[in-house]
Amino acid sequence: MTEPSILHLGQVVIDLSMDIDHLPERGGDIFARQTAIKVGGGYNVIQAARRMGAPIAYMGAIGTGPMANMVRGALAALQVPAQGPMLDDCDTGYSVAMIEPSGERTFVSARGAETRVPEGTYESMNLVPGDVIYLSGYSFCHKDNTRSLLGFAEKHQGEGFPVLFDLGPMVADIALDVLDAVNGLHPIWSLNEREGPILAKRLGCRPETGDVTELESLCRSLSLRLDSPVVLRAGARGAWYCQPKDAMQSQYIPTPQVHAIDTNGAGDAHSGVLCAGIFQGLPIKEALVLANCAGALSTTLRGPATCPSEEAIRKAASSLQW
């Protein structure tokens, strides 16, 4: 029997970052002050889960070529099996980020194998008791991945496997019928303070009034509307967690106060550590506190895959009142 694992159904890509003084004029040419080429995208979640000692497998597609070789090497270094399809007619995709002194980022991305998951890929996965599923909203930007994920959701709805759905910035672009199909898995919906209100408006939620904060009210209304657990992350202000069966008993999740220098990848660190906590059978509040600490501490370092060590995460958690 296959050992249980976290199964990552997102996309791993290559990040090319360039620090520049300003964007070039049309037809112009400038030199970057500093550059970096790293494995990124869904890799950030994988790295965070491994920091907590949890087993995780990458189930997305990988191509053939120099970018794909970087992905394979990075996963192997973390002892993460790449169990998804290998496509021999294209390379893995990449994203070019041009970063100005203000911190403003301008992106140009190239789609690759990770966006072309063959039909039937996820439906054919053999789940075992103890598996935890990670889903990313970015997957639903790509028609092939969407088709396979919808097949997976239809096959496994009602089976009770833990699922974390990190909706992400694409919250306004994913079709409502697609979101409804994914919700058939009753995932934990993870949203930040920008994404939460957008989803609530799309779903016609009406946050309650009374002696509750705006974020707590929003978390409750989303959980009731979705009939699924919701985590609403608010950066330095912590997070709220709510389950539909006990929506009036929402829980506040504290976070350590840090001096943030780069928030890129903080949400990924949160998701990876939360998946690890769920996989390890931790009480949900403990898993969320650890995830908050991971997300906060990751902002004190530059780069996307900057989840701290388990020791640092637990030390930060022990200093909080929860």
Give the start-to-end residue ranges of the domains of the chain.
6-23+31-318
Q: Can you tell me the mean pLDDT for 173-189?
A: 97
Q: Can you tell me the mean pLDDT for 205-224?
A: 82
pLDDT band at 158 (very low <50, low <70, confident <90, very high): confident
**Could you tell me the sign of the dihedral formed by the alpha carbons of 307, 310, 312, 315, in that order?**
positive
In the chain, DSSP finds a helix count (H) and a strand count (E) of: 9, 12
pLDDT band at 230 (very low <50, low <70, confident <90, very high): very high
pLDDT of 212 reads: 66
pLDDT of 247 reads: 55
Per the CB < 8 A criterion, the answer to whether 10 and 45 are in contact is: yes
pLDDT band at 1 (very low <50, low <70, confident <90, very high): low
pLDDT of 248 reads: 63
CA distance 290 to 303: 20
Give alpha helix (H) positions in 110-204: 143-156, 176-183, 195-203
Question: Which residue's structure tokens are 């997976």?
Answer: 152
Which one is predicted more confidently, 47 or 157? 47
Q: Can you tell me the mean pLDDT for 98-127?
A: 91
| DSSP letter for each residue of 147-161 | HHHHHHHHHHTTS--
pLDDT of 112 reads: 97
Instruction: List the structure tokens of 118.
Output: 């063959």
Which one is predicted more confidently, 226 or 211? 226
Class of domain 6-23+31-318: alpha beta
